[in-house]
Structure 1
């Protein structure tokens, strides 16, 4: 996302076929330490959560090139190389995901810098945004769209504005997507492309970028396909050109961040919105039990993860709804069951049957209401 929408919060080749490799490109975005790429174990890893929360971000000493995100950054580099781009974004650790306005670089949240921090994030927020390889790749492609927009000043082009809308439009505090609209691609969650013109572009670029993306087939007959064709043409035009904006500036990097992790999470939790999922708490209680009343039983969240592929295939087949909407509802219930500390209190077979009925009801409730409001 761009800096204006930071959260306290998925192709074919170019018009001339497989693009040739340019003779030169911008250097990679991760600076290496002068002495060695190998670092000693971080001293804070053994600390308990309460002690860890009292650390300042500047105490963490994270390094991108030795972090768990390094393979994902290498994969992104290969995707950009395959497309023939001379441009490469630069990266740094910060408190959250964002791409600063006017800067062709990407801030990556600190909790992706070490498994210990990811565990803390899950305990505090009940999820880790970008915490698996597929999710991380999707977010990086999205943020690269923002960085590319900044590097080439794409939003100034008339056809860009005609396709996505004016980037100068103020970011809303909340947005209400049309969940059945075919004018937007479906990539990140919460119908994020509908939140703002710059997010629409970043999402469209993210769908286009992967080497094996089937965007022509996936969006056949959708008005969103026109945007994808425009992105395909635009990228063929600019990919071999050096970007006009080459700043390597970093914004709000951890090394100069004196805020504690406790202060960060206090603010993040205060700004989080749980009202959407909480609407279905009573229905969840009909399927699962409370951990405090059923000690030692397996978690509901873990159970949902186990049966998720089978349930989603069946829900898509029965409901005839888009897999994106089905996945959204399942993920929403998974997160909420984790927040409520629910467990499987009865038979797994009966629980799976009741969970399917619950998810089916929620899906049709979503379609009936038609609109949900989400915070940016």
Structure 2
């Protein structure tokens, strides 16, 4: 600059002016869509003329807060709690700042906090085993493991379902556990679900029964093979067809039966099925016969020499008797033992003034009959 009127003076000293503008471009911010376990990095592009960058964060949709205001173009973040975080940045210099960038959002994910609760049947028959568990917040998949008969754990399933049907399993003991997982890792294991796979009983019961009884009431019992839950008891009366008497958990039974032969067999069963039938135990009921009654007794002798004697005794036969015992009323000697109901002899074999008889079979003997007094008479020899 110089001053002039008629004539201009010399130029002034030169003054220099620096012109500075705000940064020319809005930065572009980048952050991962998902960050596992709270560690990740936020970065952004450079803007011409920028001296610093202001990075702001919004946690779970809340207010924006300043995280960093430096010349750096990234920020490493650690230990963030689970949640959703938005980031925006602007470039600044002493003259001013650009507008904020578009928001970049990061979801912070941790392994599921709680283990599932596993459900499994305590006892099943051979075949597939159904396992189930509850859903856990934050889980994207579940890992199911099995230990067969105490062996090492083996992974059966890794997916997002909450139930699983195993392949067919045979008789044995199986343990199951499940963990809830996502990209950050897995929860702890659930408690074990223990399953026992049982088959039908493989052994037959052994019956302990009397072979012969002489009363109407009798009882018998049987053994209990492994895995038995109940028994089927059948009876065959006098060779007839088999009839079921009980189907429950008893291991003994009391019965009342009349004369006859009764076969019994037992089968051990559970919810899977039944084992083989036991051997047949036969109980014979042989009640002592009714008391017989003497209807005739004669004791004849000659009156002159040579002396001879003839005696005969008869009684009414009784049902089920197989033999009879004939004695004098005082006992002491047996006059007859055999199947006949009438005996006679030209000797003194059956002679007694007073007589009694009883009927017998395999079950025992009746009481003695009432005393019968023999008729004395003269023996007429021919």
Q: Same-fold call, TM > 0.5? A: no
TM-score interval, normalised by the smaller of the two chains: under 0.3
The structure with the greater share of residues assigned to strand is 2
TM-score, normalising length from structure 2?
0.15
Q: Comparing both chains, which one has the higher relative contact order based on Cα–Cα distances under 8 Å and sequence gaps of 6 or more?
A: 1
The higher radius of gyration belongs to 2
TM-score, normalising length from structure 1?
0.15
